[in-house]
Structure 1
Amino acid sequence: MSSVMERIENNQVVITFTVEKEEVAVAFDKAFKTVANKINVPGFRKGKAPRSILEKKVGKGPIIEEAFDLVANKKYGEALKEHNLYPIDNPEVTEMNFEEGSEASFKIKVTVKPEAEMGDYKGLVVDKKVVEITDEEVSKALADLQNSHATMNIVTEGKTEKGDVVMIDFAGSIDGVPFNGGEGKSYPLELGSGSFIPGFEEQLIGFETGSETVVKVTFPADYGLPELADKAAEFKVTIHEIKRKQLPELNDDFAKEVSFDNLEALKADTLKKLQETAKQNAENEYKDTLVKTAVDNAKVEVPKVMIDAKVDNMLAEFAMSLEQRGWKLEQYLQYMGKSIEEFKEMRREAAAEQVKTEIVLDTIAKLEDIAVTAEEIEAEMQVLASIHNAKYEDVKKVIEGQGNIGMLITNIMRRKSAELIINAAKAE
């Protein structure tokens, strides 16, 4: 055994290494050749200068550094396997005694992924919700269906009402001075949608097409742009067009329009779908609660570095989601009046819970000797190919090329750990 491992606080370990002088000598020979091939020495072809001349040019430091890196990298990798350690941060050399012609010793400190001190995770009992769909829920679903098939008719006579969509021009000012983002042309606004500043839409009810009016509002104190928060503003508004939603009548004709024989058949199908959705939601909630109970029963010290990494991942995923909707993260944060650090802090609690869950599931996988087969890996990549409408071979090439096969295996293993918790639960 060339290394001794000692656990210290905060999920850190210190590994002490000893290296025989013969191995040190081999490392110095390799290091000299590596350095020599990088340095031009006048009068010699690259890599052919004697060591004494090379050392006069660059000193012994680069050779010692290269030799130590060769030894340390090799021994560190061996120690991780020997002690079954999974580092989650960069290692730090804390002590080093490394000279040519002598036995070497050094210490490396590194933060490693912790294991959970497990509580109960088998035989858990969790209440499952009883699914009941009310007549009101059916009526609302039918109303939503009517709304999705509504037509928008232009109002030529009459005044605006709540629910109308008006095409407006608006120009805002504060103390008579226009402000950035306060102007719009031919903007469609649904009155009563709550998409504008509180009080704005209500002041547009009761006007005819072609009307001009002044809307007076005050921006909320918590408005996303600090320079506008709590400021009184005026908007000159012109109403160019009024459109009113006309709902189809809920009868047999409407049922046939949406592919049912009659209204009763539509109602029965709506009830069935609501029941199926509610049942599935209850089942998902039941499973999530079982896993959360197992996580809550465990004790684990979640390293800060893992939480930080999870927060960064969440931020990257959110930024990607925004870009798909045509936003930049910087624009969103400005709109919300938040800095990146404030945004990260808002997600730390959720990130810590996610990391704890992952650690618990990893610990269960180890305790239960859960393995992942080649068939399961292939099936997972087939699913990913289907989701992304891609060829299996292309997905496999990308995953292997990016070195993500390990993460794929980890995800499968965690899912199997969660399934173990669920399958081992006691019936109510």
Structure 2
Amino acid sequence: MQVTETLNEGLKRGYQITVTAAELDAKVVEKLTEAQPEIQMKGFRKGKVPLALLRKQFGQQILGEAMQETIDGAMSKHFEDSGDRPALQPQVKMTNDDWKEGDDVAVEMSYEKLPEIPEVDLKSITLEKLVVKAGEAEVEEALQNLAQNAKSWEDRAEGAAAEKGDKVTMDFVGKVDGEAFEGGSAEDFPLELGSAQFIPGFEEQLEGVKVGDEKAVTVSFPEDYRAEHLAGKEAVFDCTIKKIESSVPTPLDDELAKQYGAESLDALKAQIAERLEAEYAGAARQVQKRKLLDALDGMVSFDLPPTLVEAEAGQIAHQLWHEENPDVQGHDHAKIEPTEEHNKLAERRVRLGLLLAELGRVSEVEVTEAEMTQAVMAQARQYPGQERQFFEFIQQNQQAQQQLRAPIFEDKVVDYIFELAQVSETEVSKEELEKAVESLEDE
């Protein structure tokens, strides 16, 4: 077997692999000899079938397997000897298209190798960790929201007019151009006035109605309404008012706490404070992570595999285009050409991705089966009633598994770096944290 280098340019590599006919024939004989003891044919005892007959019977099949195994073995040995790690699956093709049995096999292999990534002194990185404590005002606001969700209702006095905040129960029929439309009718429908549950202008027109009233509500569907046949059109809803109820304030006491699984009001407040601070910590982590990535990006420089950058830039351009054109659902549009800004962002992402992957490899960071199971279960909750099909899809799809594994791996590497870096805590207000998060979105 002969391996000849044909390309060495930056991270690009190319090789010509030649497997001689004699080597291939020897591999076929080896495979037939291995299988011979288990083969039984008419007229021969098990294991006694002559190699010549086996070759005639199974030669072509074994030849294909031998060719594939020999080429795969040559590639594996090359990567082992060279130390190269391909950024993507190597491209392999036969160069002698007119090959026939008895000829040497010539194969061309090309790939882009992963770059040599310089060591980073993680202990020299300095980071700020924002800490927000849940104040009394935030806890009280959350407590009021819980009380609002737990509120009860009582009938308004006979003849009372509906006000904002009341719940109106009604039958209604919606019509466009005098014709009732599908999905525009309901019976005994409860609507809290001021909840913005219906299209703009609907709920306001019900303020002042009384039980027994018949009210025609005229509204126009928004131009971007999800049902295209109704978008921008005027509609009239004939409403029959059947009940009007006002909300009964829920006392902030131990009984409210018990509705939410707490033993007392103080215990519920403690749970709320803990939950709020966990939310603040999650937001603060995103700020800290961005600062870390900025620091790492400024500490390293190395060649990037062009194909990875090109693919990432194309994905960025495609995603942003769809965000700017939300009405286009499919992908049968013209090719979106990445801009210089897209290419620059792609280079940063690829550089940081390769760096984090290398740091994770060196520090032996791994994603456990338990972590993967938890991630799959979290995703499956987004498909109620189809959880089993989702699990089966993940089990059979390596790419989908990698999409779930990648962010877990990245977060574990980031946590590893946080442990080594010099991190100082700074207590800030909720508003200051919100500004820090908003600044991430602006960058």
Tell me the TM-score normalised to structure 1 length. Answer: 0.63
Determine if the alignment matches structure 1 residue 423 to structure 2 residue 419.
yes
Determine if the alignment matches structure 1 residue 370 to structure 2 residue 352.
no
Structure 2 counterpart of 1:72, one-letter code: I
1:341-396, CA deviations, whole angstroms, 9 ceiling, x for partnerless residues? 399x99x99x9798775433212234xx2225xxx77xx4456678969xxxxxxx
Counterpart contact for 1:371–1:413, Cα < 8 Å = no
Match of 2:251 among 249, 252, 255: 249
CA distance in structure 1 between the aligned counterparts of 2:277 and 2:357, rounded to whole angstroms: 33
1:262-287, CA deviations, whole angstroms, 9 ceiling, x for partnerless residues? x7x47974785367436633653354
- Count of matched residue pairs: 365
In the alignment, what sits opposite 2:140?
139
1:206-355 aligned within 5 A: 206-250=208-252, 265=266, 269=270, 272-273=273-274, 276-277=277-278, 280-281=281-282, 283-294=284-295, 296-297=297-298, 300=304, 302-303=308-309, 337-341=327-331
Indicate the SS of the match to 1:128. Answer: strand
Counterpart contact for 1:119–1:294, Cα < 8 Å = no
Pair 148,16 (structure 1): closer, same or farther in 2 beyond 3 Å: same
Q: 1:422: how far off? A: 0.9
Q: 1:140: how far off? A: 0.9
Gaps of 5+ in 1: 34-46, 315-335, 390-397
Indicate the SS of the match to 1:126. Answer: strand
1:280-316, CA deviations, whole angstroms, 9 ceiling, x for partnerless residues? 336533543344335644665645557899999x9xx
In the alignment, what sits opposite 1:192?
194
Structure 2 counterpart of 1:136, one-letter code: A
Counterpart contact for 1:142–1:270, Cα < 8 Å = no
In the alignment, what sits opposite 2:74?
75
Task: Report percent identity of matched pairs.
Answer: 24
Q: 1:28: how far off? A: 6.2
Counterpart contact for 2:128–2:423, Cα < 8 Å = no
Pair 226,252 (structure 1): closer, same or farther in 2 beyond 3 Å: closer
CA distance in structure 2 between the aligned counterparts of 1:257 and 1:64, rounded to whole angstroms: 73
In the alignment, what sits opposite 2:386?
none
Structure 1 counterpart of 2:354, one-letter code: I
Indicate the SS of the match to 2:129. Answer: coil
In the alignment, what sits opposite 1:322?
none
CA distance in structure 2 between the aligned counterparts of 1:271 and 1:107, rounded to whole angstroms: 63
Pair 68,167 (structure 1): closer, same or farther in 2 beyond 3 Å: farther
Indicate the SS of the match to 2:421. Answer: coil
Q: 1:14: how far off? A: 3.2
CA distance in structure 1 between the aligned counterparts of 2:258 and 2:53, rounded to whole angstroms: 91
Indicate the SS of the match to 2:128. Answer: coil
Structure 1 counterpart of 2:364, one-letter code: A
Counterpart contact for 1:4–1:17, Cα < 8 Å = yes
Tell me the TM-score normalised to structure 2 length. Answer: 0.61
Q: 1:214: how far off? A: 1.7
Pair 118,54 (structure 1): closer, same or farther in 2 beyond 3 Å: closer
CA distance in structure 2 between the aligned counterparts of 1:223 and 1:269, rounded to whole angstroms: 42
Q: 1:71: how far off? A: 3.5
CA distance in structure 1 between the aligned counterparts of 2:316 and 2:30, rounded to whole angstroms: 40
Pair 102,245 (structure 1): closer, same or farther in 2 beyond 3 Å: same
Counterpart contact for 2:212–2:242, Cα < 8 Å = yes
CA distance in structure 1 between the aligned counterparts of 2:251 and 2:406, rounded to whole angstroms: 53
Structure 2 counterpart of 1:192, one-letter code: G
CA distance in structure 1 between the aligned counterparts of 2:296 and 2:161, rounded to whole angstroms: 58
